[in-house]
Amino acid sequence: MSQAEGINGKTVRRVVIAGGGTAGWMAAAALSRMLGKVLDITLVESEEIGTVGVGEATIPTLVTFHRLLEINEQEFMAATQGTIKLGISFEGWREVGHRYIHSFGVTGRDHWMANFHHFWMRAHALGLAGSYDDYCIELKAALEDRFAHLPRYQMNYAYHLDASLYARFLRRFSEGYGVRRVEGKIADVQIDGASGCIDALRLENGDVIEGDLFVDCTGFRALLIGKALNVGFTDWSHWLLNDSALATQTTAVRDAVPYTRAIAGRAGWQWRIPLQHRVGNGIVYSSRFISDEEAREEFLSSLEGEIIKQPWPVRFRPGQRHKCWSRNCVALGLAGSFIEPLESTTIHLIQRGILRLLHAFPHVITQEAIDDYNARLDAELQHVRDFVVLHYHATRRRDTPYWRTVGTMELPPSLQRRIDLFRETGNVYHVPTELFAENSWIQVMTGQGIVPKRHHPLADVMGEAELARFMREIREGVNATVRQLPAHMDYLRGYCPGERPQALPA
Helix (H) or strand (E) holding 341: none
Residues 6+ apart with CB under 8 A from 357: 27, 31, 215, 325, 330, 373
Helix (H) or strand (E) holding 160: strand 158-160
Query: Is the distance from CB of 261 to CB of 272 less than 8 angstroms?
Result: yes
Dist. CA 45–CA 300, nearest whole Å: 32
**Residues paired with residue 181 on neighbouring β-strands, in sequence order:** 43
Dist. CA 236–CA 400, nearest whole Å: 22
Query: Is the distance from CB of 333 to CB of 316 less than 8 angstroms?
Result: no
Residue 11 DSSP SS3? strand
Instruction: List, as one string, the DSSP characters of 88-130.
Output: EEEESSSSTT-EEEEESS--S---SSS-HHHHHHHHHHTT---
Half-sphere exposure of 180 (CA within 13 A, CB side): 11
Residues 6+ apart with CB under 8 A from 218: 18, 19, 186, 224, 335
Query: Is the distance from CB of 261 to CB of 91 less than 8 angstroms?
Result: yes
Does the annotation count 85 as an active-site position?
yes
The catalytic position among 10, 85, 140, 323 is 85
How many other C-beta atoms are found inside a 10 Å radius of the C-beta of residue 331? 29
Q: How far is CA 199 from the centre of its chain?
A: 32
Query: Is the distance from CB of 407 to CB of 400 less than 8 angstroms?
Result: no
Where does residue 222 fall: left (phi above 0), alpha (psi -120 to 50 degrees), or beta otherwise?
left
Phi and psi (nearest 5°) for 247? -135, 150
What is the rounded end-to-end Cα distance, in angstroms, of the chain?
A: 34
Residue 80 DSSP SS3? coil
Dist. CA 51–CA 45, nearest whole Å: 11
Helix (H) or strand (E) holding 488: helix 488-495
**Side chain identity at residue 456, one-letter code:** H
Q: Nearest-CA neighbor of 482 among 258, 308, 178, 322?
A: 258
Positions annotated as catalytic residues are 85
